[in-house]
A and B are shown apart, each in its own frame.
Chain A
Amino acid sequence: MIHFVLLISRQGKVRLTKWYLPYSQKERTKVIRELGGVILSRGPKLCNFVDWRGFKVVYKRYASLYFCMCIDQDDNELEVLEIIHHFVEILDRYFGSVCELDLIFNFHKAYYILDELLLAGELQESSKKTVARLIAAQVFCLMEPCCFSGFTFQ
């Protein structure tokens, strides 16, 4: 299973974190610091896997963002690479050629997409179309009549 998902920018800024197992806030910062150091320092033509504390971290760089997922020893690294790519494609489809800024300003939407894709550390939806449809349906749900003000969550 996937233990956590991290999106780190080339400058080491965290853009998204998702934890499927309980990590305390302290552990989270530690994990990010450690992994950020390891992954960002790796050259471009190296393999996409890092052994880390008995787990494997699969990462892939898309433009200025590193997508990292931590998995168990006997999980399939190539499968996870495909999941990452899948996620990126969905983001791309949703935002229309996604860039880092999209994720910065739509931080919660990236989460909702990820939640459709992965649940409890497992891939849930392998069809890009379905994810797009589900997201659209939920956005529709979000549009329900509001009672108080225009300052609602968009």
Chain B
Amino acid sequence: MSGPSLMDSLFQRSLEDIIKGLRQQLIGEQAFISKALDEIRKEIKSTDLSTKSTALLKLSYLSNLHFHDMSFAAFPALEVLSSPRFSHKKIAYHAISFSFHDSTPVLLLITNHLRKDLNSTNEFEVSLSLQCLSRIANVDLARDLTPEVFTLLSSNKLYVRKRAVAVVLRVFEKYPDSVRVCFKRLVENLENSDPQILSSVVGVFSELACKDPRSYLPLAPEFYKILVDSKSNWISIKVLKIFSKLAPLEPRLAKRVVEPVCDLLRNTGAKSLLFECIRTVVTSLSEYESAVRLAVGKVREFLMDDDPNLKYLGLQALRIVAEKHLWAVSENKEVVIKSLSDADPNIKIESLRLVMAMVSEHNVSEISRVLVNYALKSDPVFCNEILGSILSTCSRNLYEIIVDFDWYVSLLGEMSRIPHCQMGEEIENQLIDIGLRVKDVRPELVRVARYLLIDPALLGNSFLHSVLSAAAWASGEYVEFSRNPLELMEALLQPRTSLLPPSIRGIYIQSAFKVLVFCLHTCFVRGGSIVPSASLNNLPAGVSASASYESFDEFSVENGADVTVVHGQTRASAPITKESIVNLLNLVELALGPLLGSHDVEVQERARNLLGIVDLTKPEVLNSSVQEKDDSEGKGVETSQIIKLMHDAFSKELGPVSLSAQGKVSLPDGLVLKENLGDLEMICGDIEPPSSNSFSFGSPYEEKDGLSFSNLQIKEDSEQSNESTSLLAEHRKRHGLYYLPSGKSELISNDYPPANDPTLQCDINDNDDNLVKITAESLVPKRKPNHGKPRPVVVKLNEVDEKPVAMKQPESRDGSLSGAVRDVLFGREDIPPTSSQSNLSNKPSSKRKGKEKQHTDPHLESKENVIDDGNSSSRRKDRSHGKERRHRSPRKKNFEERKDTDQKEKEKSRRHHGRHKSRQRAEEPLKVTAQTPVIPDFLL
């Protein structure tokens, strides 16, 4: 298709036509745009620059506001750019800076256009070109155009100069070596009297100082002067920003700056400047008490202001202060708490963070109380924000601030009952974690768990399922603290548990198993209606109220009224009688019978286990209840033995296990691990790997289940002879690899907890009791001084709970940039050996190694040469008067000029002499570079 004809050009639609057409929407927006795009594609091929540029303008409009791709117009844009007319250029530059990016193929072609315009006499063309460069600069463009930008930095047109200053930042970023060329002129502009230029330069330095403040310390006197003299708030803000980066590095500087900043703080009327002063003080000058006081006073004004912006920023500033001066927050406590109910979610979150910063072990319960009340009232998002921050603050450093764990556990229970709560998993983790770590809290934990479990309404909320699983686990594990195991059993088996996902249902059944074993044990082994061991108050059971929960009606009715359901709060314990056991067994059969057909293996297996033990014990219970002792005497003994064994298995204490515990288990003698693994594939190639859930030892929570479960399997396997054994045998067959030989099976439960104990490396194979004892001893109790109630022991593991110390060094992203800046500023004399200097500090070694290393990477080689060049001769010159220069560094212009000329010469000869020189220099002593940074005494 040929290009558009003259007629097309004449009747080309202008941008305005497009905009009008779009607004009229006669044929729908998309249709109109695609029609317009078709036209543009045609017009943009026109040889007439006016037509082309109008097409480009229309296209950039569509691309800007309707996000249509305009990459196809990259080359036409360049063509328009070459037009002599300013209007065309303007359109082209606009389109280019909007659409070009690093991978645009024609980017290479633009260099000359930009260069031409940078040298133009029309200041607006220069400005356009600079603008475009700032946006699309890549390494090549920045390198090729550095000389032009350098020239413009001292242009006598202020308009051009200030724009060049702003753009030089981008050039530095892309091509750090340009610093060597341009930096000096940039610094000269710091002394310019024109506020616009000053504003530009200071802006550039504030960006540069953000990335690597240390390099700009030598310029502190200039900045100081600007800070003191500046009349413009724009400039003051930028200078303050620079000082807030520099002051922490150099205490003398901070001391010097604090006065002028306070003056500004007192006198300025502009809120933005005021805020910048406050921020500078609280971030960088926080050691100066009086300044902080002054700033906090101003923050208070912000907080009292009606303007939500000021309020928000005030809270933000307060949060920064809080790290070092908590008093500032306490002083403004009321405002902060009040802001929790602000209309603005940002303000609410900010004040929430502040409130959390105030939390200490003295006030944690009050604050949590307040926050939970707020959570109840607030919208779901903020509610969860509150809950999340309570959870994370309280659990910080192993519940460091919690003294009263009973209170905390009940708080967790309460939190999970808040309607919007979605923090189920975190609550779950903490409930289990506390249960494992803090022995003293277990009775309360069971109480809370019961409270959650008996409420059928909670089962409907899927966010709470994980909390419920923790509750179920805790009530099973610590059932001996339960006041009424029978009621717990009903709760665990209530019909609405069908709403739970299978994995959690499995936990419910497993807990029911534990509870059942406990009941049986209490009933038979300890003889009749012995009250649960942990019950503190031994009130008569007469206060029982049957069927206090509607959902249990069916059970209660079915069981006859014998089962006594007791309110947890009444502190009464239900006697476990034979009848109640019979009812219990019936209940289990009724509830779990249908689950034998469950599709979930976990649920099915566990249900089967539980039913197995019911089958085993039921005849005996029935017999003994009708007083037929004679014929079943032998079996009765056997059953009670089994029950005793299982009870023992369940009541064995399993502590939290460190993540690295397994690594500490020394290999028992005669256990060959490596050779056998070769056969693994053959033995069980067809078996899928076990779910990580039941056999993982990674998390302290999960393996508990896994272990007790496998323990149970073993016990049952060896001692039971009913139908469930077949299932267990099958399980053993499938997962046989993970069982130890049956003779040693008891070891399983004890291998891991002692493993995290460093004192125990030697006698892993010793008997259980010994290990358990030592483990218990190793759990170092940590007590905090407190008030009234002693803080319970929180079990800690050495390795897991201590966070790994991150040795990460702060790495400056543009090491080469700051390196180059330092070269210029410090004259390469005293380079601080920071990480950002790696390419420089590596230098001596690479040089010593000589040539072969330099051959490895041509890019690196040239870079090193640059460094060497920028350095070798000037350094030789400098060394003689290096010392004095340090003291008169603000006036080191002469030197820098010299260096500049050196630089130019050297750039020419770099390729030829670089390597030669570096070899030459390798012979010189290199101790100068190894010096620590000497920061000149600029201000004093």
Contact = CB atoms under 8 A, between A and B. Distances in A.
Interface of A: 1, 13-17, 19-20, 22, 24-25, 28-29, 43, 45-51, 72, 74, 76-79, 81-82, 104-105, 107-108, 111-112, 115, 119-120, 122-127, 130, 134, 137-138, 141-142, 144, 146, 148-149, 151-153
A90 B135 CA distance: 23
A50 B23 CA distance: 31
Interface string B56-96: 01000101110101000000000000000111101100100
Contacts of B51: 151
A108 B19 contact: no
Interface residues of B, number: 69
B65 A153 contact: no
A105 B16 contact: yes
Contact of B101 (A20, A22, A105): A22
B544 interface: no
A46 B344 contact: yes
22 contacts: A14-B65, A19-B98, A47-B308, A47-B312, A74-B241, A77-B309, A78-B271, A78-B272, A78-B309, A79-B272, A79-B276, A105-B19, A120-B135, A125-B196, A126-B232, A127-B196, A134-B159, A141-B122, A144-B85, A148-B48, A151-B10, A151-B12
Interface of B: 9-10, 12, 14-16, 19, 23, 48, 50-51, 53-54, 57, 61, 63-65, 67, 69, 85-88, 90-91, 94, 98, 101-102, 122, 124, 130-131, 134-135, 159, 162-163, 166-167, 169-170, 196, 199-200, 203-204, 207, 210, 232, 234, 237, 241, 271-272, 275-276, 279, 308-309, 311-313, 343-347
Contact of A120 (B50, B101, B167, B311): B167
B9 A151 contact: yes
B302 to A, nearest CB: 10
Contacts of B203: 122-123
A104 B19 contact: yes
Contacts, number: 161
Given A25-B69, A104-B19, A120-B167, A47 B309 contact: yes
B236 to A, nearest CB: 10
B145 to A, nearest CB: 14
A45 B309 contact: no
A78 to B, nearest CB: 3
Nearest to B14: A151
A86 to B, nearest CB: 10
Given A79-B237, A153-B54, A17 B65 contact: yes
A79 B122 CA distance: 32
Given A122-B166, A149-B10, A81 B272 contact: yes
B207 A1 contact: yes
Given A22-B102, A153-B91, A126 B346 contact: no
A114 B167 CA distance: 16
B200 A124 contact: yes
Nearest to B349: A51
A17 B262 CA distance: 39
Nearest to B65: A14
B319 to A, nearest CB: 13
Given A79-B276, A81-B272, A122-B166, A144 B65 contact: no
A28 B101 CA distance: 13
B14 A78 contact: no
Contacts of B166: 119-120, 122, 124
Name the 5 nearest CB pairs between A and B, nearest first: A78-B272, A47-B308, A120-B134, A46-B344, A47-B312
Contacts of A25: 63, 67, 69
Nearest to B164: A119
Given A76-B272, A79-B237, A107-B19, 18 more contacts: A13-B65, A25-B69, A45-B344, A46-B347, A47-B309, A48-B309, A72-B210, A74-B210, A76-B276, A77-B309, A82-B272, A120-B134, A126-B199, A127-B196, A130-B196, A141-B87, A149-B9, A152-B50
A47 B232 CA distance: 26
Nearest to B133: A120
Contacts of A19: 98, 135
A153 B369 CA distance: 67
Given A47-B309, A119-B134, A144-B85, A78 B90 contact: no
B343 A43 contact: yes
Contacts of A74: 210, 241, 279
Nearest to A107: B61
Contact of A141 (B10, B57, B86, B237): B86
B124 A138 contact: yes
A100 to B, nearest CB: 12
A152 B53 CA distance: 9
A137 B200 CA distance: 22
B343 A124 contact: no
Nearest to A141: B86
A72 B210 CA distance: 11
Given A104-B19, A119-B131, A149-B10, A16 B346 contact: no
A76 to B, nearest CB: 5
A57 B300 CA distance: 24
Contacts of B312: 47, 49
Contacts of A130: 196
A28 B68 CA distance: 11
A123 B57 contact: no
A50 B87 contact: no
Contacts of B94: 108, 111
Given A46-B344, A47-B311, A105-B16, A137 B124 contact: yes
A16 B203 CA distance: 25
Contacts of B101: 22, 24
Contact of B346 (A28, A50, A119, A149): A50
Contact of A45 (B12, B271, B313, B343): B343
B241 A16 contact: no
Contacts of B63: 25
Nearest to A127: B196
Contact of B313 (A50, A77, A151): A77
B10 A142 contact: no
Contacts of B170: 120
Given A25-B67, A149-B50, A79 B346 contact: no
